[in-house]
Amino acid sequence: MADIDLLEDSAGHAGSVNTTAAATSAGARYRDALRLLFILVAGADDADEPTGETVKVFRAEKRLMAMDFLVRYPDYLADALLDMVEAKADVDLLDKVEGFFEADEPSVRLVRMVRWKRGAYENIEDALSLLSYYGLVQAMQLKGEDGKVRRYEYLISSKAVSFLDNCVTDHPTLAWYRDRVALVMRVASGKSGSELKDWQYEHPTYGQTLYGDLIPSIRGEVENRLREISEKLK
């Protein structure tokens, strides 16, 4: 897969971004494409009739946006995981959440999103164009009888799956994406994009953000919650 420049141009941008200005850097486009690819592959279902061009299918843009938000906002993901910790008294998962804050991830891994009419939003067309160019993902529009787009599906090739395996082997720092998306899947598995968005709106900070404004971090309140749960379980 050495001919795919996406890996070389994004390997140095493994999520370590803490300002919106950094999103305009030369490698940000490749970083965003790689992050989305990890999400698409992990969150996809096996294709009904697999071919070389399509082995998995990720359904719905809203779900993609909601999962991307959880990767980009470690504090919100931590809060979602704490729901699971409390429900199951899962000390191992609690340790993982504590690791977020020990590594200062709500700051150094934060890649902000804008709040728009349907929640956290990012124009992903450039990133998807890159993935399509390299033959990794193809976006499909599913239209209703009225001709309006009802849903997006993302067809994932076998090349995409092997490419991500090579990413982690050749650039071990990119294993962060693999491991982080695995945690996101613990939250998102079995949930629709609407369900994930509804959970996000339960946070007043998120819901009260004005259209067009950047969604703020909720680090402080999540850290307080983490301390309370840690005192109960440890």
Q: Is residue 145 predicted with pLDDT exceeding 70?
A: no
User: Model's pTM, two decimal places?
Assistant: 0.88
Residue 66 has pLDDT above 90, yes or no: yes
- Which pLDDT does position 2 carry in this prediction? 37
Summarised one tens digit per residue, pLDDT across range 102-126 is: 999 999 999 999 999 888 988 899 8
Q: Tell me the mean pLDDT in the region 23-39.
A: 81
In this model, does residue 170 exceed pLDDT 50?
yes
Picking from 234, 198, 206, the residue whose alpha carbon sits closest to that of residue 222 is 206
Q: What is the mean pLDDT of the chain?
A: 87
CA neighbor of 76 nearest in space, from 212, 191, 207, 179? 207
Domain that holds residue 210: 5-233
Q: How far apart are the first and last CA of the chain?
A: 46
Question: In whole angstroms, what separates CA 90 from the centre of its chain?
Answer: 23
Whether residue 177 has pLDDT greater than 90: yes
Q: Is the pLDDT of residue 45 over 90?
A: yes
Domain count, the chain: 1
